[in-house]
Amino acid sequence: MTAVEPPRTRARGRRITFYVALAAFAQESTWNFYDAQVPPLLREHLSSAALIGLLMGMDNILGIVIQPWMGNRSDNTRTRWGRRIPYLAVGMPVAALLFATIPLASTLPVLIALMFAYTLVANSFKPVGDSLLPDFIRPERRSRANAVVKIAISLTVIVSALISTFLVDSHPVLSFWIPSALMLGCAAVLVLRVRDNTSPAYEAAVAEERRPDAGDSARMREVLRDIAVDPDRGRVLVILVIFLFGCAWFSSRSLITTYGMETLGLSRGDAGGLTLLSGVAYLLAAFPLALLSERVGRLRVMAFGMALFAVSLVAGTLVHTETGTVVALCAGAAGAAGFAINGAVVLWNMAPSSRVLGTYTGLYTVGWMSGGFVGPAVVGGVVDLTGWRFMLVDTAVLAALAVVVALRIQASRRDGATL
């Protein structure tokens, strides 16, 4: 029987969940607007959807390299502020200032250089902030805590859509400054209020390091070796699911503004606002799905959510109107929440030690960002061949493949509900 948490422990968990959600809100306030409004900036210089998709995937290839390394580096950092906060105190303000300069680029080379600089810095601290959650929250409660974080992220989708709808067409530069200001404000609160050297995971990691047989198991090479030689391929297959759904999700977000302009005849601002209500749907679905995940299993809820996402995009293609697209995106976002609240949690709960939680956050990133790099380029290439009309269907195929792999994992694990 699960032990009852003392009131002080519950209160601390809620407080830390709020601060972790604030960190996620700070990060995603710029990332979501980046995905929605940088493609139209690139379209002013380029005509190929595949090339635009490739450039939009640049941040993801950087994430594949940088995020696992930074997650592992923070795992092995020891300061009086903890192992995560020092990186956030530096990285978040720098990323906010770089993001504010993106709309000021007047040529394609300058625009690409600013995109590179922003994504380099933002990728450096992203796994560090994400790892605060498993540092403080025990495994059986991580889905509901992660749901709160995802709700915060869904609010940034709404903020991005509102800025797109009301400001982009008339104040294109100011519209980038607002997410930057949000990041600066949230970063200040986080750095002043959180010290992760008191987290259970930090304390457990320090205690484990004092054991004579601790060794170098927290180093990146040893973490990868442990996964590679494990006869249970569960962790590898989970990363594959993350990759495939990442392909689908990033394609739907990176290309949706241009899709609305090309096929529905919308202005740039109105097309950017297509995702507004889907953010609300995501918000409403996240916490109930987290509770359901704890009852029936995280892998099952992930598979159901991804299937709903795929079916919704196909339906959006069949009902080819602005309203139909908005409804499809809402249903798809609700389904995507089933994946989003559980994907990283499954990997965290598979980690053999609290010493490597940041590294496993980075491994999640390897799958997610690889999908973000490959997906928009692949879907954009298919669009170049078949036209924008079927972009949502092209994206749905990738999500369907993720469902197949998730069901394969579930079928091979009797303990899938405990992940």
Q: How far apart are CA 287 and CA 282, in angstroms?
A: 10
Position 246 scores a pLDDT of 93
312 burial type by CB count under 10 A (0-12 exposed, 13-18 middle, 19+ buried): buried
Secondary structure (DSSP) of 69-97:
HHHHHHHT---TT-SSHHHHHHHHHHHHH
Position 8 scores a pLDDT of 64
- Any idea what DSSP says for residue 400? H
Position 417 scores a pLDDT of 44
Q: How many CB atoms lie within 10 A of CB 284?
A: 16
Between helices 357-386 and 234-254, what is the axis angle to 10°? 50
CB 128 within 8 A of CB 86: no
Sites in the chain below the pLDDT cut of 50: 1-3, 416-418
Q: How far apart are CA 262 and CA 1, in angstroms?
A: 56
Distance separating the N- and C-terminal Cα atoms of the chain: 17
CB 99 within 8 A of CB 289: no
Question: Reduced to 3 states, what is the DSSP secondary structure of residue 200?
Answer: helix
pTM, rounded to two decimals = 0.79
CB 92 within 8 A of CB 189: no
Position 370 scores a pLDDT of 85
- Any idea what DSSP says for residue 6? P
Percent of the chain with pLDDT over 70: 94
Question: Reduced to 3 states, what is the DSSP secondary structure of residue 108?
Answer: helix
CATH T-level fold of 7-418: Growth Hormone; Chain: A; (1.20.1250)
Position 345 scores a pLDDT of 92
Position 10 scores a pLDDT of 67
Tokens representing 252?
Answer: 């739907």
